[in-house]
Structure 1
Amino acid sequence: MTDTSRPHEIVVLGGGYTGMLAAIRLARRTRRMSGRIRITLVNPSDRFTERLRMHQIAAGTELTDHRIPDLLMGTGVRFRHAAATDIDPATRRIGCADGTELGYDTLVYALGSTTDIDTVPGVAEHAWTLNDPRTAHRMSRRLADLDATGGTVVVCGNGLTGIEAATEIAESHPDLSVTLLGNAEPGAMMGPRARAHLNRALGRLHVVRHCGHRITKVLPDAVCLDDGVVVPAGLTLWTAGVRVPDLAARAGIATDATGAIITDAALRSVSHPEIHAVGDAAAITQPWGRIHGTCQSGMPSAAHVADTIARDLRGKPVRPFRFGYFHQPVSLGRHDAVIQFTHADDTPKRWYLKGRAAVIYKETVSSSPVPTFRLSRRMTVSVSLSRGGRATRAVGRAA
């Protein structure tokens, strides 16, 4: 039997983009259930990290310092400054690094992802990553020292993060030699015109591209490729591949091969429906395929889970999650950018944006989460640019 003498405990694990929105939106959606609901947000740092801007910090830009308790102010959400170390779904308890435990009735798993530093030898020992603002600040100081001697920076991984990092560093440190390494051509996911603009920007900033070869090892002062080429590196930045925390897998919650929680149509765990997973740490599928982790998909998943939990607590039927991609925004330094507009499955449309208009567009996208959090304290805010249209309409009908 349900114990009605105590509040329904909702714990949100993770204070990134998805966890913050889920907690704040859920507080707003359950405000009339005051006293019957208690929401706790758990995060190892009290600083909100703008992951979309880590490359700017690494290149030397100072950003606004946002604190999680300030963003939660007035919502009633409690903040627990701690790192979660384990989950026991049988007893619905969460162990924390400080030796304490938290109980939950409903859990939102929003732990996100980090850069994979274990697959390729030498990465963990010799490469920098953009996982943490403190590391990014240390990297900015290292780049300044390297700049004085005209050294070489190698960015491993030519996905969107690698492209943004390489162009940001090349623009802010023009005396450095910047090389971008990766298996595919930079911007391979874009249409030909957007990709051409991206490559012109890389050329203008003198970014050397070495593509089509796998990285086999990272040394203290070089990167080794599978064709035998050794690329000298005064500093190596690793942006290739991601991994998710192993808490869910260790707890016996159903996960995929990457450790992401497998969800049903409403983003509940298929093995433990009291657990809801969002963002990078959730294995979410749509009729067109698996969603890959981005803020673009993470924020809508967080909003959906908050709404789902609120509906469930009121005894209302839950709805399936529908999502489609809308764009691929890429900054190319502070003065250029390219925006590739996409179909729901993230394949490119004909339309794209470049230059100054794209810079304004990209900045609007990157700066939107914090104002969205603040606005969400007072009203329900739409965070979905696309629900997938015809590509996902069958999901809604099936519900």
Structure 2
Amino acid sequence: MTHHIVVIGAGYAGLTAANRLARRLSPGQAQVTLVNAAGTFLERVRLHQVAAGQAVPEPAVTDLARGARFVRGRVESITADRRELRLGSTTMRYDTLVYAAGSVADLEGAPGVAEHALTVSGTGDTTRLRDRVARIPAGGVLTVVGAGPTGIEVAAELAESHRRLRVRLLAAEDPGGRWSPAARAHLRRAFDRLGVEVMTGAKVVRVDASGARLADGRSVGSDAVVWAAGFRAPALAREAGLAVDGHDRVLVDRTARSISHPDVYAVGDAAAVRASSGQELRMACATALPAGRQAADAIADRINGREPGPLRFRYVVQCVSLGRRDGLIQFVHADDRPRAMTLTGRSAALVKELVVRNALRSAQRGGG
């Protein structure tokens, strides 16, 4: 009987896994089904552009899936002991599951976030942010909470595209604090040029209709608050009984296989992946692509009676957009520690754009 492999999620990791499996296994060996709630591919690394009102590519999943059967639908539950998924009134069985459900904004970071803050974790919420920003009158204040790459890119993009607004970035720590001195200096210059006001040591403890409240008692008035202070995986895997970490990411071994359910593999933001050193890999496109490739190879190897090798992975750079004409490429060691070398300015913006385009091409090719 043909082995049925179901991939949940058509992001970078899921698309890579589905296309690589379809390439490595013959139709007589396995049928690969890719399930996704939307019919278009979400380039999450461009969501800050969507928030700023820019048009971005929206390729159809059917045009990107190479050999995998595409089913549009939202997986509502997983019954792991019966190897079943529920999509509305439909039940789908699997022999092997690749869980690539991505991540969502962590709305539990402070009271009021879910009710009053806007986010950039998906097409729908980012479109709501775009529409809200367009309605803020000139001189209004837009506050971004979180000084990681997402918060930095959102603040810079919105400030560049909406010069009529005051954009403020609230950060518990210095933005780019883990980067090299040269990178941090360029980031400060970019924010100064764009007019982004940075407030450090600003831990947000509540969000309400008037803005954000800080741990030191200060209130930061805002016309809109964008929450970019953390992401977590959907609750789907935890509710199915899979072993997960505190952010609902599936705990996996070095072949991307669930430590609790051997017929389940997890990749991308929805998996707690570790390097051979034990280092936990960050949620990023740079992690998703090799993880999707690893899961596909491990599944194909096991179907063909071979023992798969472990994930071999190293970081090379961190890429950050600072609007459309500026960027920052921080070269890093294999374990993600910053090197002294950086690339900045328009050249860095061009490199970032090439990286984004090549990421989609890589997913189409199944990771190479």
Contact kept, 8 Å, 2:292 with 2:367, in 1: the verdict is no
Q: Deviations over 1:359-388 (max 9, x none)?
A: 1111111222322234x1xxx653xxxxxx
Contact kept, 8 Å, 1:264 with 1:270, in 2: the verdict is yes
**Does 1:77 pair with 2:63?**
no
Contact kept, 8 Å, 1:15 with 1:42, in 2: the verdict is yes
Q: 2:92 is aligned with what amino acid? A: L
1:284, CA displacement in angstroms?
A: 1.5
1:257–1:143 CA distance, 2 compared to 1 (3 A): closer
Q: Deviations over 1:173-232 (max 9, x none)?
A: 111000001111010120111111011101111100111121011111211111111111
* 2:309 match: 319
Deviates more, 1:347-356 or 1:33-42: 33-42
The within-5 A match list for 1:280-291 is 280-286=269-275, 287-291=277-281
Unmatched 5+ residue regions in structure 2? none
Distance 1:278 1:43 in 2: 15
What is the DSSP-based 3-state SS (H/G/I as helix, E as strand, rest coil) of the residue aligned with 1:90?
Answer: helix
**Does 1:86 pair with 2:77?**
yes
What is the DSSP-based 3-state SS (H/G/I as helix, E as strand, rest coil) of the residue aligned with 2:32?
Answer: strand
Q: 1:80 is aligned with what amino acid? A: V
Q: 2:78 is aligned with what amino acid? A: I
1:339, CA displacement in angstroms?
A: 0.8
* 1:54 match: 47
Distance 1:325 1:206 in 2: 32
Contact kept, 8 Å, 2:102 with 2:268, in 1: the verdict is yes
Contact kept, 8 Å, 2:318 with 2:330, in 1: the verdict is yes
The within-5 A match list for 1:245-264 is 245-264=234-253
1:239 corresponds, among 228, 231, 235, to 228
Distance 1:366 1:373 in 2: 11
Distance 1:339 1:48 in 2: 25
Q: Deviations over 1:294-344 (max 9, x none)?
A: 111111000111111111111122000111211111111111111111112
Contact kept, 8 Å, 1:180 with 1:208, in 2: the verdict is yes
**Does 1:110 pair with 2:100?**
yes
Q: 1:143 is aligned with what amino acid? A: V
Distance 2:233 2:21 in 1: 24
2:362 corresponds, among 359, 372, 387, to 372
The within-5 A match list for 1:163-178 is 163-178=152-167
2:255 corresponds, among 266, 272, 285, to 266
**Does 1:9 pair with 2:7?**
no
* 1:23 match: 18
The within-5 A match list for 1:189-338 is 189-286=178-275, 287-338=277-328
* 1:388 match: none
* 1:352 match: 342
Distance 1:227 1:174 in 2: 30
Distance 2:319 2:56 in 1: 20
Q: Deviations over 1:148-168 (max 9, x none)?
A: 432110001011000000000
Give the TM-score normalised by the residue count of structure 1: 0.89
Q: 1:39 is aligned with what amino acid? A: V
How many residues in Structure 1 have an aligned counterpart in Structure 2? 367
1:58–1:38 CA distance, 2 compared to 1 (3 A): same
Contact kept, 8 Å, 1:95 with 1:102, in 2: the verdict is yes
Contact kept, 8 Å, 1:243 with 1:258, in 2: the verdict is yes
1:155 corresponds, among 121, 144, 153, to 144
Q: Identity over the aligned pairs, expressed in percent?
A: 42
* 1:35 match: 28
Q: 1:63 is aligned with what amino acid? A: V
Deviates more, 1:363-372 or 1:324-333: 363-372
Contact kept, 8 Å, 2:289 with 2:367, in 1: the verdict is no
What is the DSSP-based 3-state SS (H/G/I as helix, E as strand, rest coil) of the residue aligned with 1:268?
Answer: coil
**Does 1:135 pair with 2:125?**
yes
Distance 1:271 1:381 in 2: 26
Contact kept, 8 Å, 1:288 with 1:345, in 2: the verdict is no
What is the DSSP-based 3-state SS (H/G/I as helix, E as strand, rest coil) of the residue aligned with 1:21?
Answer: helix
Q: 1:40 is aligned with what amino acid? A: T
User: RMSD between aligned alpha carbons?
Assistant: 1.3
* 1:363 match: 353
Unmatched 5+ residue regions in structure 1? 1-5, 383-399
Give the TM-score normalised by the residue count of structure 2: 0.96
Distance 2:58 2:272 in 1: 31
Q: 1:246 is aligned with what amino acid? A: A
What is the DSSP-based 3-state SS (H/G/I as helix, E as strand, rest coil) of the residue aligned with 2:119?
Answer: coil
What is the DSSP-based 3-state SS (H/G/I as helix, E as strand, rest coil) of the residue aligned with 1:305?
Answer: helix
What is the DSSP-based 3-state SS (H/G/I as helix, E as strand, rest coil) of the residue aligned with 1:290?
Answer: coil
Distance 2:212 2:64 in 1: 41
Deviates more, 1:243-252 or 1:179-188: 243-252
Contact kept, 8 Å, 1:59 with 1:169, in 2: the verdict is yes
Q: 1:298 is aligned with what amino acid? A: A
